[in-house]
Structure 1
């Protein structure tokens, strides 16, 4: 058994159990605030939103983690200054931590603000830079997606497996509309223009973490997006990998916590997806 598997329990406490408990408690609280938030602020742009519910959810998760593992490091979206440079710097400062919790307290805040029911809590734990636990919780549907490194991925207690589509032509692919309208959005739209005619259909639902969970569950064949952050991707990446899929950057290089431009799939059509992005000039 390798170090990352040995690291799944410390002091008799299961990391996965703590992650699940944090996601469940945060998700339960978030749903009580749906349609009832009191403050809305802009972050990096007019399309990058935050509410007091995002901040409260992150505080709740941070406090619960600290109760069980006070020596662990914590990287949460709401504890980082807005903008890609600040996000990259925050990860750089935290990357050498032995244990690092990586949290998006509400992935899909715009959806939450509009009461559009497609948002989630995303919690990952990295051990020496490698994600060993990933939890994505959709509180509206009460769906809990859970993965442990080397132990598979599950939803509703059943093991997940990626879909079997072999080509883009028969696939359902998801992407996003990045909040960065100067750099990331134009590149993503290039990809949309190129890939939409090649696939069965596209979905843009507004939560990268849930899109990735859906790839892991076989509901989507693949997903790509430009300009994401570690907290958007870490949990979902492990879900996909443990379900038999592939996660890389948009150029096909292996996934790491530093990846911001992601391509994820069932594996069968991954090269075709990456090549389509390359031909479109949409890799970043």
Structure 2
């Protein structure tokens, strides 16, 4: 069975590849922008592809004819999406349309990665049945792409997730744990938001959740995230405590104290009962995730 993974150079992609390589039932094809930047470069096929070009996408799908496609490639920096709406739409919506159209020819099972930012954050945590109402351009682009997937002729699943953290091969990529650790080690004070709530997701858990969806070809929408609702400040305090760093350097602030191009939903987070019951999904709590990330660092 062939699985094609887009965005393979990204944080999720880097963790999806080894998960599927461990299962001999799968032949893995990875695609990303530019050269392959994964630490492990053997055991799978890598294709550099511009997903914003319909012809390139059609050629990729016609060449490999995947049974499963996991579309993890996206423009996810919320403020960048707000500043450059054309690039956001091309990357998040047009590329999805090209992939869906190309996959329809082969009857591929299509797994689309989405986000908690499809919600307005007024009534979180959210179940899969909650009404979407994005308040940022990034969120709107993901709603549009979800709609495209749902209305395709393909068997499909939408996997929404929240605030993914973990270690990427690229040392320039930071996450809340490495950001807090490196700044506090340098004795820098940090202002951290305490009026936004999320269910932070360990990237290994998200990768495992995607694999469960692929294995079962489970159709529909699934919320796959951590199982604890925390603010960024609470995450920062736990991180500082784990590394025995000075929590006095952490200052609790409101989101309105920052000037950012894109609005953030105040309270999201997910109810993950469906994924637990239908897929057998078992996420780590933040303390466990912190320990896993610390070992990788």
TM range (shorter): under 0.3
> Which has the bigger relative contact order, CA under 8 A and spacing at least 6?
2
If you compute each CA radius of gyration, which structure gives the higher value, 1 or 2? Answer: 2
User: Which of the pair is proportionally richer in strand?
Assistant: 1
TM-score, reference length from structure 2: 0.26
